Structure 1
Amino acid sequence: MAMGKVGKTVETLGDYLREQRIAAHLTLRQLAEQAGVSNPYLSQIERGLRRPSAEVLQQIAKALRISAEQLYLRAGIVSPEGTAGSVELAVLGDSRLTERQKQSLLDVYASFIALNDSTI
Protein backbone atom coordinates (compact mmCIF):
# COMPACT_ATOMS: atom_id res chain seq x y z
CA MET A 1 0.00 0.00 0.00
CA ALA A 2 2.83 2.41 0.82
CA MET A 3 4.37 1.78 -2.59
CA GLY A 4 1.18 2.93 -4.30
CA LYS A 5 1.24 6.17 -2.33
CA VAL A 6 4.87 6.83 -3.22
CA GLY A 7 4.16 6.13 -6.89
CA LYS A 8 1.19 8.47 -6.86
CA THR A 9 3.18 11.21 -5.15
CA VAL A 10 5.99 10.93 -7.66
CA GLU A 11 3.51 10.90 -10.57
CA THR A 12 1.91 14.06 -9.20
CA LEU A 13 5.37 15.60 -8.88
CA GLY A 14 6.14 14.74 -12.50
CA ASP A 15 2.89 16.24 -13.73
CA TYR A 16 3.54 19.37 -11.68
CA LEU A 17 7.09 19.68 -13.01
CA ARG A 18 5.89 19.27 -16.58
CA GLU A 19 3.23 21.97 -16.08
CA GLN A 20 5.79 24.35 -14.56
CA ARG A 21 8.30 23.64 -17.33
CA ILE A 22 5.73 24.32 -20.04
CA ALA A 23 4.54 27.48 -18.26
CA ALA A 24 8.18 28.66 -18.20
CA HIS A 25 8.41 27.99 -21.96
CA LEU A 26 11.29 25.57 -21.50
CA THR A 27 11.94 22.34 -23.32
CA LEU A 28 12.89 19.27 -21.36
CA ARG A 29 16.43 19.62 -22.66
CA GLN A 30 16.66 23.30 -21.64
CA LEU A 31 15.42 22.61 -18.11
CA ALA A 32 17.77 19.65 -17.71
CA GLU A 33 20.69 21.82 -18.76
CA GLN A 34 19.73 24.68 -16.43
CA ALA A 35 19.14 22.31 -13.50
CA GLY A 36 22.38 20.42 -14.09
CA VAL A 37 20.76 17.01 -14.60
CA SER A 38 20.66 14.73 -17.60
CA ASN A 39 17.84 14.96 -20.10
CA PRO A 40 16.86 11.26 -19.68
CA TYR A 41 16.86 11.59 -15.87
CA LEU A 42 14.58 14.63 -15.96
CA SER A 43 12.30 12.83 -18.39
CA GLN A 44 12.06 9.89 -15.99
CA ILE A 45 11.18 12.24 -13.13
CA GLU A 46 8.41 13.85 -15.19
CA ARG A 47 7.03 10.42 -16.10
CA GLY A 48 7.06 9.30 -12.47
CA LEU A 49 9.73 6.65 -12.97
CA ARG A 50 12.33 8.25 -10.69
CA ARG A 51 12.13 9.92 -7.32
CA PRO A 52 14.66 12.75 -7.21
CA SER A 53 16.65 13.73 -4.14
CA ALA A 54 15.97 16.96 -2.30
CA GLU A 55 19.14 18.39 -3.83
CA VAL A 56 17.96 17.68 -7.38
CA LEU A 57 14.55 19.15 -6.59
CA GLN A 58 16.26 22.28 -5.32
CA GLN A 59 18.22 22.59 -8.58
CA ILE A 60 15.06 22.11 -10.63
CA ALA A 61 13.16 24.67 -8.53
CA LYS A 62 15.94 27.19 -9.02
CA ALA A 63 15.94 26.62 -12.79
CA LEU A 64 12.15 27.01 -12.91
CA ARG A 65 12.23 29.97 -10.50
CA ILE A 66 9.68 28.35 -8.22
CA SER A 67 9.67 27.45 -4.53
CA ALA A 68 11.69 24.38 -3.60
CA GLU A 69 9.23 23.88 -0.74
CA GLN A 70 6.44 23.26 -3.25
CA LEU A 71 8.49 20.56 -4.91
CA TYR A 72 9.34 19.00 -1.54
CA LEU A 73 5.63 18.87 -0.72
CA ARG A 74 4.76 17.39 -4.11
CA ALA A 75 7.50 14.79 -3.76
CA GLY A 76 6.31 13.81 -0.28
CA ILE A 77 9.64 14.78 1.29
CA VAL A 78 8.00 17.39 3.51
CA SER A 79 4.73 17.03 5.35
CA PRO A 80 2.20 19.85 4.90
CA GLU A 81 1.05 19.45 8.51
CA GLY A 82 1.97 21.87 11.24
CA THR A 83 5.51 22.28 12.47
CA ALA A 84 6.79 18.99 11.08
CA GLY A 85 7.48 20.73 7.79
CA SER A 86 9.68 23.34 9.40
CA VAL A 87 11.99 20.71 10.90
CA GLU A 88 12.17 18.88 7.61
CA LEU A 89 12.80 22.08 5.67
CA ALA A 90 15.54 23.07 8.10
CA VAL A 91 17.30 19.74 7.53
CA LEU A 92 16.87 19.96 3.75
CA GLY A 93 18.07 23.54 3.66
CA ASP A 94 21.27 22.95 5.64
CA SER A 95 24.10 23.07 3.11
CA ARG A 96 26.56 21.68 5.66
CA LEU A 97 24.92 18.24 5.49
CA THR A 98 25.40 15.70 2.74
CA GLU A 99 22.39 14.32 0.91
CA ARG A 100 22.77 11.01 2.75
CA GLN A 101 22.96 12.75 6.14
CA LYS A 102 19.82 14.74 5.33
CA GLN A 103 17.92 11.60 4.39
CA SER A 104 19.10 9.80 7.55
CA LEU A 105 17.95 12.68 9.75
CA LEU A 106 14.59 12.83 8.00
CA ASP A 107 14.13 9.07 8.44
CA VAL A 108 14.92 9.25 12.18
CA TYR A 109 12.63 12.26 12.61
CA ALA A 110 9.77 10.52 10.78
CA SER A 111 10.19 7.39 12.91
CA PHE A 112 10.00 9.47 16.12
CA ILE A 113 6.84 11.20 14.90
CA ALA A 114 5.25 7.89 13.92
CA LEU A 115 6.16 6.36 17.30
CA ASN A 116 4.71 9.29 19.19
CA ASP A 117 1.55 9.29 17.09
CA SER A 118 0.98 5.61 17.74
CA THR A 119 1.25 6.03 21.53
CA ILE A 120 -1.26 8.87 21.72
Structure 2
Amino acid sequence: MKNEKPNYFDLVYQVVREIPEGRATSYGTIAHYLGLKSGARMVGYAMNAAHSLPDVPAHRVVNRIGMLTGKHHFSTPTAMQEALEKEGVIVENDKIKNFDQVFWDPEKELLI
Protein backbone atom coordinates (compact mmCIF):
# COMPACT_ATOMS: atom_id res chain seq x y z
CA MET A 1 0.00 0.00 0.00
CA LYS A 2 2.83 2.35 0.74
CA ASN A 3 3.86 2.32 -2.93
CA GLU A 4 0.50 3.79 -3.92
CA LYS A 5 1.32 7.10 -2.25
CA PRO A 6 3.31 9.65 -4.23
CA ASN A 7 6.90 10.13 -3.17
CA TYR A 8 6.70 13.64 -1.72
CA PHE A 9 10.45 14.12 -1.76
CA ASP A 10 10.47 13.50 -5.53
CA LEU A 11 7.61 15.97 -5.99
CA VAL A 12 9.51 18.58 -3.98
CA TYR A 13 12.66 17.94 -6.03
CA GLN A 14 10.70 18.38 -9.28
CA VAL A 15 9.65 21.85 -8.16
CA VAL A 16 13.07 22.83 -6.79
CA ARG A 17 14.74 21.85 -10.06
CA GLU A 18 12.55 24.48 -11.77
CA ILE A 19 13.72 27.41 -9.61
CA PRO A 20 15.74 29.61 -11.96
CA GLU A 21 19.29 30.63 -11.20
CA GLY A 22 19.38 33.82 -9.14
CA ARG A 23 15.94 33.21 -7.63
CA ALA A 24 14.77 31.58 -4.40
CA THR A 25 11.57 30.34 -2.81
CA SER A 26 10.42 29.17 0.59
CA TYR A 27 9.68 25.79 2.09
CA GLY A 28 6.09 26.80 2.74
CA THR A 29 5.54 28.06 -0.80
CA ILE A 30 6.61 24.72 -2.23
CA ALA A 31 4.44 22.86 0.29
CA HIS A 32 1.44 25.01 -0.59
CA TYR A 33 2.01 24.51 -4.32
CA LEU A 34 2.15 20.72 -3.88
CA GLY A 35 -0.72 20.61 -1.38
CA LEU A 36 1.43 18.89 1.22
CA LYS A 37 -0.56 18.54 4.41
CA SER A 38 2.60 18.28 6.49
CA GLY A 39 3.67 21.61 5.04
CA ALA A 40 6.98 23.35 5.14
CA ARG A 41 8.51 20.82 7.51
CA MET A 42 8.19 18.03 4.91
CA VAL A 43 9.86 20.26 2.32
CA GLY A 44 12.63 20.92 4.82
CA TYR A 45 13.14 17.20 5.32
CA ALA A 46 13.32 16.76 1.55
CA MET A 47 15.89 19.55 1.25
CA ASN A 48 18.00 18.04 4.04
CA ALA A 49 18.05 14.79 2.07
CA ALA A 50 18.81 16.51 -1.26
CA HIS A 51 22.44 17.36 -0.70
CA SER A 52 23.62 14.18 -2.37
CA LEU A 53 21.59 15.08 -5.47
CA PRO A 54 23.66 17.46 -7.62
CA ASP A 55 20.69 18.33 -9.84
CA VAL A 56 18.57 19.69 -6.94
CA PRO A 57 19.53 23.32 -6.17
CA ALA A 58 18.69 23.12 -2.47
CA HIS A 59 20.47 26.44 -1.85
CA ARG A 60 17.52 28.21 -3.52
CA VAL A 61 15.07 27.15 -0.79
CA VAL A 62 14.92 29.33 2.32
CA ASN A 63 12.43 30.18 5.03
CA ARG A 64 9.47 32.51 4.53
CA ILE A 65 11.45 35.68 5.22
CA GLY A 66 14.51 34.71 3.19
CA MET A 67 16.69 33.38 6.00
CA LEU A 68 19.21 30.67 5.11
CA THR A 69 17.85 28.31 7.76
CA GLY A 70 19.15 25.22 5.94
CA LYS A 71 22.76 26.40 5.76
CA HIS A 72 23.96 23.93 8.39
CA HIS A 73 23.01 21.02 6.14
CA PHE A 74 25.51 22.03 3.46
CA SER A 75 29.13 20.89 3.28
CA THR A 76 30.25 24.08 5.06
CA PRO A 77 28.25 26.72 6.97
CA THR A 78 28.92 29.24 4.18
CA ALA A 79 28.28 26.98 1.15
CA MET A 80 24.60 27.94 0.82
CA GLN A 81 25.37 31.66 0.85
CA GLU A 82 28.28 31.21 -1.55
CA ALA A 83 26.07 29.30 -4.03
CA LEU A 84 23.41 32.03 -3.92
CA GLU A 85 25.96 34.81 -4.29
CA LYS A 86 27.53 33.02 -7.26
CA GLU A 87 24.08 33.40 -8.91
CA GLY A 88 23.92 37.11 -8.09
CA VAL A 89 21.74 36.89 -4.97
CA ILE A 90 22.82 39.28 -2.21
CA VAL A 91 22.91 37.75 1.26
CA GLU A 92 23.49 39.76 4.42
CA ASN A 93 23.49 38.28 7.92
CA ASP A 94 22.22 34.92 6.62
CA LYS A 95 19.23 36.57 4.92
CA ILE A 96 18.51 37.24 1.25
CA LYS A 97 18.44 40.97 0.68
CA ASN A 98 15.37 42.14 -1.25
CA PHE A 99 13.82 38.69 -0.91
CA ASP A 100 10.57 39.96 -2.42
CA GLN A 101 12.42 40.69 -5.68
CA VAL A 102 14.30 37.37 -5.70
CA PHE A 103 11.24 35.35 -4.62
CA TRP A 104 10.01 32.73 -7.09
CA ASP A 105 6.44 31.45 -6.79
CA PRO A 106 5.77 28.10 -8.49
CA GLU A 107 2.04 28.89 -8.38
CA LYS A 108 2.69 31.70 -10.88
CA GLU A 109 5.65 30.24 -12.71
CA LEU A 110 4.85 26.56 -13.23
CA LEU A 111 2.16 24.60 -14.94
CA ILE A 112 3.00 21.15 -13.52
Q: Which structure has the larger Rg over C-alpha atoms?
A: 1
**TM-score, with normalisation over the residues of structure 1?**
0.29
Between Structure 1 and Structure 2, the one with more helix by share is: 1
With a CA cutoff of 8 Å and minimum separation of 6, indicate the structure with the bigger relative contact order.
2
* TM-score, normalised with respect to structure 2: 0.31
